[in-house]
Amino acid sequence: PQTAYLCRETDWVSDAEDIWLYSHEECLADKKKQASNFRHIEEESNKYAAARITQTVGNKIIVVNPPYPPMSQEELDRSFDLPYTRLPHPKYKGKRIPAYDMIKFSINIHRGCFGGCSFCTISAHQGKFIVSRSKESILREVREVAQLPDFKGYLSDLGGPSANMYRMKGKDESVCRKCKRPSCIHPKVCPNLNTDHRPLLDIYRAVDTLPGIKKSFIGSGVRYDLLLHQSQDAAINRSTAEYTHELIARHVSGRLKVAPEHTSSRVLSIMRKPSFEQFETFKKIFDRINREEDLRQQLIPYFISSHPGCKEEDMAELAVITKRLDFHLEQVQDFTPTPMTVATETWYTGFHPYTLEPIFSAKTQREKLAQRQFFFWYKPEERKNIINELRRIGRADLIDKLYGKRK
């Protein structure tokens, strides 16, 4: 399982259940076929029992065996309970590593993510099925961290690929075994998904009672669409509201990270992200709880420019909307193609792998900079270029919204 190999065509014995991709040569000649191939790649990586994938390359065949099934909790615990030093490799002795500083006192409580964001590789290397550590394993690691000589009592993160997916899975797992949806929460939350936050609340509270722990923070990104989801179960809805309050009141180190990624409904749909209205709803909840608790905390949204499907006009409207919400954006990223993602296949081929419809992507330096500049509308040095660009794309109506009435 989980290996790929090359063999001679004459040595290959095919199976009726194998998935045959368009050949390497066909993909070089027709990018739409390359896009079509990728849908199979993603769907099979998100299934409990995947098919074997094959592709002809010249007079040989590439064979991709199905991945291992998701780990059990016992297997995951065993991997985390190994005697790690929690230190960088000895070759870095005497050197400061900023990335290490960030995760030095963090605890990973689960693996996998069912968000299925089109630009993210987590489903490719961890899968969409959540595998969670036991409470005992997590507490054991926290106790070890508390004994480290420079530990001051503050855990920087109790999280995972997404902060609030711990112990979440299908209510009826037989349904999940047949499913090949890349996301359990887009375009809407699957009715079979158990969104109970009580096990996670239990972890937070158990950790915070341990000797030597002054405070535990949540540094991983939070999926606010899960926090806003209304289940059929009233008890689960109460637990979600309780979790939301406890998260904001007790586990934010001044700044809570969330990732709306964009404001355009069309671009968000391609990204497989929830509507921006959901972010605005969550922001109101965040602000209300801060007022009630007399806290001065910030909500830090992450955004991406030049994502496939995004045009300059979308970025201009993003600037106007984020200005209205009083955000001066810092955590931003210009789309970078990352292997094994839907977004990168769309960017490279020009076609969406699931619909095979043409999708525009900003590729040249000029196109990408033209989009990125709208993040920084509030910087004086960007103002002239932005005004000129808005006129060029026929959206002079947005100039007043960004900079006020002109004389």
Chunked into runs of 10 residues, the chain (407 residues) has average pLDDT values of 94 92 98 98 92 96 94 97 93 93 95 96 90 98 95 96 96 93 95 97 98 96 96 96 98 94 98 97 98 96 97 97 93 93 98 98 96 96 95 94 79
- For residue 155, the Cα-to-chain-centroid distance in whole angstroms is 22
Residues 285 and 340 grouped into a single domain: yes
Domain membership of residue 162 as a residue range: 77-217
Residues 6 and 142 grouped into a single domain: no
The enclosing domain of 301 has a CATH number of 3.30.750.200
Give me 56's structure tokens.
């002809």
Of the CA atoms within 13 Å of residue 55, those in its CB half-sphere come to 20
3-class DSSP assignment, residue 367: helix
In-domain check, residue 240: no
3-class DSSP assignment, residue 407: coil
Q: Which helix (H) or strand (E) covers residue 15, if one does?
A: none
Give me 79's structure tokens.
């991997």
Residues 22 and 103 grouped into a single domain: no
In-domain check, residue 225: no
Is the model's pTM score more than 0.85?
Answer: yes
- Is beta strand 215-216 parallel, antiparallel or unpaired with respect to 154-155? parallel
Cβ pair 110, 166 in contact under 8 A:
yes
pLDDT digits (tens, 9 = 90+) for 323-373: 999 999 988 999 999 999 999 999 999 999 999 999 999 999 999 999 999
How many domains are contained in the chain? 3
